[in-house]
A and B are shown apart, each in its own frame.
Chain A
């Protein structure tokens, strides 16, 4: 099993550009989430999904969109990149709401 796969690992964007961060899991997990990690801020929840076709906002959703058309994939879209979105982004999946998360290895995004 590959677990949770995130691509790309590194990305540099110019302000105003858009892009999609990819996340795929092969564990048949229903729950998937996107977090951003900034120094001193810990992991903050951007969006999450409890199953295909169902998404909801987390703590810091502004500037990001998600969709969940399949159980396996949960892409994160940056609509118009801003320097404040410079961060490390983690995708995670879980079998259920009470079980622990399996994380991907992250995407380091820099917006200039």
Chain B
């Protein structure tokens, strides 16, 4: 089992602020995914990154995969209350997906 560490564990910010959350591992990822989970719902896939150094943008969200493929970050610009949720990274090893413990984000109006 590859241990995925996410930081920070909790984050509370005001609407309009920027933020970055991180996902790190001691081993190399084959690919990495980011999900957002809202209370009472299952996680929803945001993005998959595969190539070291890859950057993907999804509206105000920017995802980066580290050059060595051992870390990833999610940056949110001008956060909105609708961004509130649990952000999870997941790594695919063979036929299994392993998830980090997540970053719980609260955006205060």
Q: Are the C-beta atoms of A42 and B42 separated by less than 8 Å?
A: no
Q: Which of B76-100 contact A (CB under 8 A)?
A: 88, 90, 92, 94-100
B contact residues around A106 at 8 Å (CB)? 40-42
Tell yes or no: A16 within 8 A of B by CB. no
How many A-B contacts if CB must be within 8 Å? Answer: 62
Interface pair A103/B1, CB less than 8 Å apart: no
A16-60 vs B: 1/0 string, CB under 8 Å?
000000000000000101010000111111001010000010110
The answer, yes or no, to whether B33 is at the interface (CB within 8 Å) is yes
Q: Are A58 and B101 in contact (CB under 8 A)?
A: no
Write the nearest CB–CB distance from A5 to chain B, whole angstroms.
11
- Interface size class on chain A is 20 to 34
**Chain B residues bordering chain A, tally (CB within 8 A):** 25
B residues near A43, Cβ cutoff 8 Å: 43, 88, 90, 99
Q: Quote the shortest CB–CB distance from A26 to chain B (angstroms).
A: 16
A101 and B97 within 8 A (CB)? yes
Q: Is there contact, CB below 8 Å, between A98 and B96?
A: no
Interface residues of chain B, those whose CB is within 8 Å of chain A, are 1, 30-31, 33, 35, 40-45, 48, 50, 88, 90, 92, 94-102
The 5 closest A-B pairs by CB, nearest first: A103-B42, A100-B45, A42-B101, A43-B99, A42-B99
* A→B interface (CB under 8 Å): 4, 31, 33, 35, 40-45, 48, 50, 56, 58-59, 90, 92, 94, 97-106
